[in-house]
Amino acid sequence: MNNFIYHNPTKLVFGKGQIARLGKLIPADKKIMITFGGGSVRRNGVYDQVVKALEGRDWVEFWGIEPNPSVETVREAVALGRENGSDFLLAVGGGSVIDGTKLIAAGLLYDGDPWDIVLKGQADKTVPLGTVLTMSATGSEMNSGSVISRQETKEKYAFYGDYPVFSILDPETLYSLPQRQIACGLSDTFVHVLEQYMTTPGQSRLMDRWAEGILHTVIEIAPKIWENQHDYAVMSEYMLGATLALNDMIRMGVTQDWATHMIGHELTALHGLTHGATLAIVINGTLRVLRGQKRGKLLQYGERIWGIAGGSEEERIDRTIAANEAFFRSLGLSTRLSEEGIGEETIAEIERRFTAAGDRFGEAQNVDGAMARRILEACL
């Protein structure tokens, strides 16, 4: 196991009716700006719960943080926050709203353009923020990461801000989500785990088993969600599983990959494809192209997750990659670029971007522009 430092200061407030605790979680003297997405929280009752919990408090609203939040929208929110002297942010929504709010939190204390912070990759200081999660996928409610797009140039990059002070997770907020959103959320959760698990064998039994536990859980609950999206027990497992998949816990002391995510971000930036949908495509190409490098973990993954134990090692790897792809298909997601009308022009542009930036991802730092092309070609 490699050396590591683990620190996660986010208070997780989980369960039914916990939105009512907002008034106690946010200090009484704070001027709050509440950030929202497109308005689904008005229809599912979450907005009313938030308003009731913050009755008598000093707050303003900012609406319109879009899926794949843009710096253009963040600039507008920063202006509103400064105008009102906001010194505490409350993100009410899914990962996109939370990611956008993390950049707002940094932008409020930065004199220049918030995009500078994204390009730097790290915020120096931030306004504190809390979250009310209404869509499980990114894990942003309990980590410091954020991914921001720039519509003007079709770019999308990650940066690191601060952890939320608290996050409220009420599984009932997931009841009204469209199935497509849940499918993409399950995909994002699953690939978050694979990016931290499908790397170097023999580093940590503990991390492996923890990761495998989340993978098994996602596989088991996915069909149950389609049967009854109002099953509180099942939606609780989904919500907490998505948080645990990317709150720094399962990466302790082990190498990580993230090539699939970085390639997926480019597909989203260029085509607007939902992040979880890009991962369902790219992860299969990553495993096909890097099967030699990931051989030990692929064999372990096949046996422990999919029950694939018979045949030669090459046959087992083939069947494991096929089972992986079949899982994403079972969610109703595409697993090939051609299904989304994406081809050579996009592949060439992503290769160019990786090469120009000098990017190298993966546990072996060998996924450069040329390797990204090979992975994408394996996804056609």
For residues 281 and 272, what is the distance between their CA atoms, to the nearest angstrom?
A: 14
Structure confidence at residue 100 (pLDDT): 98
**Residue 207 scores a pLDDT above 90:** yes
Structure confidence at residue 217 (pLDDT): 98
Structure confidence at residue 69 (pLDDT): 96
Q: Which long-range contacts (CB under 8 A, 24 or more apart) does 335-340 make?
A: 335/280, 335/281, 335/284, 335/379, 336/281, 336/379, 336/380, 337/281, 337/376, 337/379, 337/380, 338/380, 340/271, 340/273, 340/277, 340/281
Structure confidence at residue 157 (pLDDT): 95
Structure confidence at residue 339 (pLDDT): 98
- Banded pLDDT at 222 (limits 50, 70, 90): very high
Structure confidence at residue 346 (pLDDT): 98
What mean pLDDT is predicted for residues 28-40? Answer: 95
Q: What is the pLDDT of the chain when averaged over all its residues? A: 97
**Residue 367 scores a pLDDT above 90:** yes
- Which structural domains are found in the chain, ordered by start? 11-173 (3.40.50.1970), 178-377 (1.20.1090.10)
For residues 211 and 173, what is the distance between their CA atoms, to the nearest angstrom?
A: 26
**Residue 284 scores a pLDDT above 90:** yes
What mean pLDDT is predicted for residues 73-98? Answer: 97
- Banded pLDDT at 39 (limits 50, 70, 90): confident
**Residue 336 scores a pLDDT above 90:** yes
For residues 13 and 149, what is the distance between their CA atoms, to the nearest angstrom?
A: 29
pLDDT per position as a tens digit, 230-274: 999 999 999 999 999 999 999 999 999 999 999 999 999 999 999
For residues 368 and 160, what is the distance between their CA atoms, to the nearest angstrom?
A: 22
Structure confidence at residue 138 (pLDDT): 93
Structure confidence at residue 141 (pLDDT): 97
**Residue 320 scores a pLDDT above 90:** yes
3-class DSSP state of 168: strand
Overall pTM > 0.85: yes
Helix axis angle, 369-377 relative to 344-357, nearest 10°?
160
Structure tokens, 328 = 């994403």
Strands 166-169 and 11-14, by their bridges, are parallel
Structure confidence at residue 221 (pLDDT): 98
Structure confidence at residue 254 (pLDDT): 98
Give the burial class of 284: count Cβ atoms within 10 A of its Cβ; 0-12 exposed, 13-18 middle, 19 or more buried.
Answer: buried
Structure confidence at residue 193 (pLDDT): 98
pLDDT per position as a tens digit, 114-167: 999 999 999 999 999 999 999 999 999 999 999 999 999 999 999 999 999 999
Q: CB–CB of 242/198 below 8 Å?
A: no
